[in-house]
Amino acid sequence: MAAPQRRSRKIMMTQDELDEFLAAQRTCRVATVSSDGAPHLSALWFAWDGTSVWLYSIVRSKRWADLRHDRRVAIVIDSGEGYGELRGVELSGAVEFVGEIPRTGEPCAELEAVEPLFARKNFGLETMPHDGRHAWIRLTPSKTLSWDFRKM
């Protein structure tokens, strides 16, 4: 006989729900580990391509320095005010740095789809503005946890 389904499974998002939620949200919280072992948490805009979370980070930030030292990261995206409205996703794993650092707009096949996606979502533009201060970080999560309390 199968064990009863746990509550966390009951409120877990389906892949379609997860994709829709991540496409609609704009801000995530990024947790990194400093070189002295201390945690660091920062907010950042992101884009979701159906497989990976893309972050466009200032390369002279504490977050960037932390990730250069230790590529492990946890990212939380959530929404809702009342208990029964809470929805969210926690994604974790090791990041990759994509494209030139800092990004100046040189051709990069891996960024052809992501830059317009990020630009439309976060700036209302069709092309990505490059300022020579940011660069791309990709998290293809090794672990994903989700919740949607509206299912209870």
Closest CA to 23 of 13, 38, 33, 31: 13
Q: What is the pLDDT of residue 49?
A: 97
Closest CA to 32 of 72, 76, 90, 91: 72
How do residues 27-40 score in pLDDT, each as one tens digit?
A: 999 999 999 999 99
State pTM to two decimals.
0.91
Q: What is the pLDDT of residue 7?
A: 58
Q: Residue 1: is its pLDDT beyond 70?
A: no
Q: Residue 53: is its pLDDT beyond 80?
A: yes
Share of the chain above pLDDT 70, in %: 95
Q: Residue 9: is its pLDDT beyond 90?
A: no
- Kindly report the average pLDDT of the chain as a whole number: 94
Average pLDDT over residues 78-105: 96
Q: Residue 5: is its pLDDT beyond 60?
A: no
Residue whose entry in the numeric block shows the structure tokens 């650092």: 101
Q: Residue 65: is its pLDDT beyond 70?
A: yes
Share of the chain above pLDDT 90, in %: 93
Which domains are delineated in the chain?
7-151 (2.30.110.10)
Q: Residue 131: is its pLDDT beyond 50?
A: yes
To which H or E segment does residue 66 belong?
Answer: helix 62-69
Average pLDDT over residues 104-121: 96
To which H or E segment does residue 23 belong?
Answer: helix 15-24
Token pair in block for residue 124: 């209302």
Q: What is the pLDDT of residue 3?
A: 47
